Amino acid sequence: MKRFILNELNKWKTSISRKPLIIRGARQVGKTWTVKHFGEISFNKNFHIIDFEKRPDMYQIFEKNFDVKRIISELEIFMNTKIDISKDLIFFDEIQNCPKALKSMRYFYEDMPELHLIAAGSLLEFSFDTISFPVGRIKFLNMHPLTFAEFLLAQGKENLAEIIISEIQDLSDSIHNLLIDELRNFFFVGGMPESVLCYLNNQSLIDSLKVQNDLILTYQEDFAKYHPKVDKLCLNQVLISIAQKVGFQIKYSKLTENFSNPTISKAFHLLHKAQLLTQIQSANPSGTPLGASASNKIFKAIILDIGLQNVLCRLSLQNEYTRNLLNIYSGSLAEQFVGQELRANKNNNLYYWSRQSKSSNAEVDFLIEKNGKIYPIEVKSGATGTLKSMHMLLDKYKNCPKGIIFSTKKYSQITEKKLEFIPIYYAYQFGLEDKIFF
């Protein structure tokens, strides 16, 4: 599968100021496969994988000290191979199992900067709680499920993928309808690599749903590893409740009735740390950066993947598949999709606008910064409706150049009302600062 993160990996490889790289991301988003593919293509198979889950015998290499020359020498002995530190790639996989190896990465930067070193693992965010990384010694990249464009590329539909990451334009009815049909499948297959691969092999949405069920079970089994400890039942109930409440402001007391608010809050933030959900904070669009005005008390959330949302919400494929995309599950899937696409190129920094007042509960679905400006975004079922909250925001905050409406309608503008209606399949492209080439 073609993953856009490969572009970032190639930039990292050729960077003059290259640092050891840690790839973050939830379980099963394709981190290991992607690094192996990168090693095969960009290093002509000259790469070395140390899987700390399969090779606990290698832990001892990192116990004595952090002399990186000694570490490389002993790795060569254990793997029975020669490592060319100027040309080869070393990949520490499942590095959370060996905290000393994780800690050693800063010393590779200081004492062996010519080495190409990548690490990845599961629940890495929990390991960072106990290991400090000096600022400037390590580079991080976030990895997410496949975007809609990557889903098209996986099917060999390069022309369609290029359309939705190129300049937004008014497409013909036939191409527009074709993209909407493809997006309908993506709403149910989602972007988890195993689910996509199953769909490619079998052309069966039912089979993909079975894979997604298995993935949910995998995440639930991981709950026992979360630290600090939180009741597994609470974690499960919060995850399901968040999937059901995408698009709604979060109140801990409404996520589950079986636990106290502090316990629910801890469960929510652990799921966020594990990247199974993304918090979307309320922010003030009066100026940049949006994060400066973000609220820790007023927020919404989306989950890891739209396909997993289907499973967690127990949606009926038979009943929901034929609906207008933006009406499926009362529009919740559409907002999840837009958030998921924007998150993939905004490094998890998503915001929305909520007017907190006794006389009004106006909200706009998302706020994003693009080219130094702030754009409010609404996800609507069509190019009609009052858009009362959007108009209220645009009237109040004159610095916002226009409002963006994602829908299943074709592209159009209403200049005098500062509105631009964009087909929902352009969501990922709209958030890009630079065009991607593949």
The pLDDT of residue 244 is 97
Residue 180: CB atoms within 10 A of its CB come to: 15
The residue among 124, 148, 140 whose CA lies nearest residue 339 is: 148
Distance between terminal CA atoms of the chain? 12
With both helix axes pointing from N to C terminus, report the angle between 232-244 and 205-222 in degrees, rounded to the nearest 10: 140
* Model-wide pTM > 0.75: yes
Residue 154: CB atoms within 10 A of its CB come to: 20
Above 50 in pLDDT, residue 238?
Answer: yes
pLDDT band at 434 (very low <50, low <70, confident <90, very high): low
What are the chain's domains? 5-142 (3.40.50.300), 148-430 (no CATH)
Q: How do 89-93 and 116-120 pair as beta strands?
A: parallel
Contact 154, 195 (CB under 8 A): no
Contact 366, 351 (CB under 8 A): yes
The residue that leads in pLDDT, 338 or 317, is 338
Span 394-400, mean pLDDT?
93
What the block records as the tokens of 317 is 């494929």
Dihedral pair phi/psi, residue 352, rounded to 5°: -145, 170
What the block records as the tokens of 98 is 């060996």
Q: Is the dihedral of CA 64, 66, 67, 68 positive or negative?
A: positive
Span 278-288, mean pLDDT?
94
Percentage of the chain beyond pLDDT 90 is 80
Above 70 in pLDDT, residue 145?
Answer: yes
Tokens 């106006």 belong to residue:
362
Tell me: the pLDDT tens digits for 153-167?
999 999 999 999 988
Could you tell me which residues come within 8 angstroms of residue 260 by beta carbon, excluding any fewer than 6 positions away? none
Span 60-71, mean pLDDT?
96
Above 60 in pLDDT, residue 385?
Answer: no
The pLDDT of residue 138 is 93
Tell me: the pLDDT tens digits for 329-365?
989 999 999 999 999 987 668 999 998 776 677 899 9
Strand order from edge to edge, sheet including 403-407: 299-303, 277-282, 351-354, 363-370, 373-379, 403-407, 419-423, 412-414
Q: Is the dihedral of CA 329, 269, 345, 97 positive or negative?
A: negative
The residue among 428, 393, 429, 387 whose CA lies nearest residue 405 is: 387
